[in-house]
Structure 1
C-alpha cells in the first residue's frame, strides 16, 4: 500500500526539524555538545527557540536524534564490509570500513566513537550514552565473533578474541583520535590512513597462525 502524501503542514514541520538537526550537527561538530546552546541552534537554523523545544523538547533530544542518525550511518559502513570467505580478512576489512566512516562522515564518527572526548555534566545524557553503548557493543561484538572464528579455524593464533577485539577497537579509535589534537602532534587524514595501514600489516603478521 502506498504511503499517504504528507500534508503541507507535515512537510513544513519536517523541513523545520531538518533545519534544526543540520544546524545542531554543524555546531556540535565545531564546538562540541556541551558548549552549544539552544539559542545558538535556533539562530543557526533561523527558527525560534520555541521551535527547537517543540520538535525535540531539549538539547539532549536534539543530540539523541543526531546520535541515532550517526549510529545508522556507522552500521551502514560496517555492513558494507565485503563478505570475505576468511574470518580474519573480515576483521581486517572492518578496520578499513571504520576508517572510511571517519574520513567520509567525520561529524557522525565523532558523535558515536569519540563521545568520551566530549565533557558532560555529572550523570551525562543517559539515553545518548545507552544508545551508543548498545549499538557499538553489537557492532564490535560482530567483529569479535569473526576474530573468534579465525582462531577456531586455525587461521589466527590462539588468543582471547574478547581481549584482542578490545585492543583492535581501542587502536582504531586511538589513531583516528590523533586527527583531533590541537597541537603539532595532530595527524592529517593521510597520516592516519598510513598509520592504520601499517598497523593492519603488523596485526595481520602477529595474528596469522
Structure 2
C-alpha cells in the first residue's frame, strides 16, 4: 500500500500543515512572547492537533528555531537583491545592504522579530546545537558579506585605510539592528516605519561621510 505521506499530495499536505503551524506560532510569539505561548495555543491557532505540532517540530524550541531559519531565508533573499543592482562601488553596496535590510524588516516585520527574540527573550529548554550552529553560520555569512565589501572599498580607495574593518562591520550591523529594534518597543521610545526609514537614511549619510577616503584628506 502506498504511503500517502510520501506521495506528492501527501507532501503538499504536510507542507501546508507545517506552514500553518509556523504562521500561527509567529503571530502568537510576536503578540505574547515566546515563553508565554504554549503549544496548545499554537495548535488551536493553526487548527491542528497538539500532536501534529510535535510531529512536525518536536518541541516549542524546535518550532521557534524553524521560525528563525525561515526568517533568515527571507533575510538572505533581501540581501541578495543588492547583487541584482549591479553596483560597481563596494561602498555603495554596503549602503545598499542597509537599505535592503530595512526593506526586509518593512516587508516581513514578523521575520525580523523572530530573529530578535533570540536575544530579547531566550527560549526555555534545550535547543538543538546543530541548528544553533547553522543559524550562527548564516548570520555570520551575512555580516561577512558586508565586511568583504568594506575591504574591497579600502582596496578601491573609496574609504579610509585606517578603519578597523572588523569593528566597523560590527558597528554597522549593530546599528542597523538597533534602530530597527526601536520599532518593536512597547513604550514611548517606539518609532513608526516612516521615522525608522528617515532615521536609517540619516545613518546612511553619516556612515558614508565618516568612511570616505576624501573626508580624511587621502
TM-score normalized with structure 1 length: 0.90
Q: Identify the residue that residue 216 of structure 2 maps to in structure 1.
A: none
Q: Identify the residue that residue 16 of structure 1 maps to in structure 2.
A: 17
Following the alignment from structure 2 to structure 1, what is the Cα–Cα distance between the partners of residues 125 and 48?
30
Question: What are the superposed Cα offsets for residues 43-72 of structure 1, whole Å, 9 maximum, x if unpaired?
Answer: 111111111112221112222222221111
**Partner of residue 91 from structure 2, selected from 65, 88, 91:** 88
Instruction: Indicate if the aligned counterparts of 1:39 and 1:49 stay in contact, CA closer than 8 A.
Output: yes
Following the alignment from structure 1 to structure 2, what is the Cα–Cα distance between the partners of residues 19 and 183?
31
Q: Identify the residue that residue 71 of structure 2 maps to in structure 1.
A: 70
Following the alignment from structure 2 to structure 1, what is the Cα–Cα distance between the partners of residues 143 and 72?
13
Instruction: Indicate if the aligned counterparts of 2:79 and 2:100 stay in contact, CA closer than 8 A.
Output: yes
Moved more, 172-181 or 57-66: 57-66
**Alignment root-mean-square deviation, CA:** 1.9
Moved more, 107-116 or 195-204: 107-116
How much has 1:113 moved relative to structure 2?
4.3
In the TM superposition, what are the counterparts of 1:154-173 in structure 2 within 5 Å? 154-158=157-161, 159-173=163-177
Question: What are the superposed Cα offsets for residues 20-57 of structure 1, whole Å, 9 maximum, x if unpaired?
Answer: 12211211222222221111111111111111112221
Matched, 1:183 2:184: no
Q: Identify the residue that residue 133 of structure 1 maps to in structure 2.
A: 136
Following the alignment from structure 1 to structure 2, what is the Cα–Cα distance between the partners of residues 122 and 19?
24
Question: What are the superposed Cα offsets for residues 47-104 of structure 1, whole Å, 9 maximum, x if unpaired?
Answer: 1111111222111222222222111111000000123100000000000000101111
How much has 1:112 moved relative to structure 2?
2.3
Following the alignment from structure 1 to structure 2, what is the Cα–Cα distance between the partners of residues 133 and 172?
18
Instruction: Indicate if the aligned counterparts of 2:29 and 2:37 stay in contact, CA closer than 8 A.
Output: yes
Matched, 1:208 2:212: yes
Q: Identify the residue that residue 32 of structure 1 maps to in structure 2.
A: 33
- Count residues with an aligned counterpart: 205
Unaligned segments of structure 2, at least 5 residues:
1-5, 214-218
Moved more, 103-112 or 89-98: 103-112
Moved more, 165-174 or 30-39: 30-39
Following the alignment from structure 2 to structure 1, what is the Cα–Cα distance between the partners of residues 94 and 80?
12
Q: Identify the residue that residue 100 of structure 2 maps to in structure 1.
A: 97
Following the alignment from structure 1 to structure 2, what is the Cα–Cα distance between the partners of residues 133 and 21?
21
Following the alignment from structure 1 to structure 2, what is the Cα–Cα distance between the partners of residues 117 and 23?
20
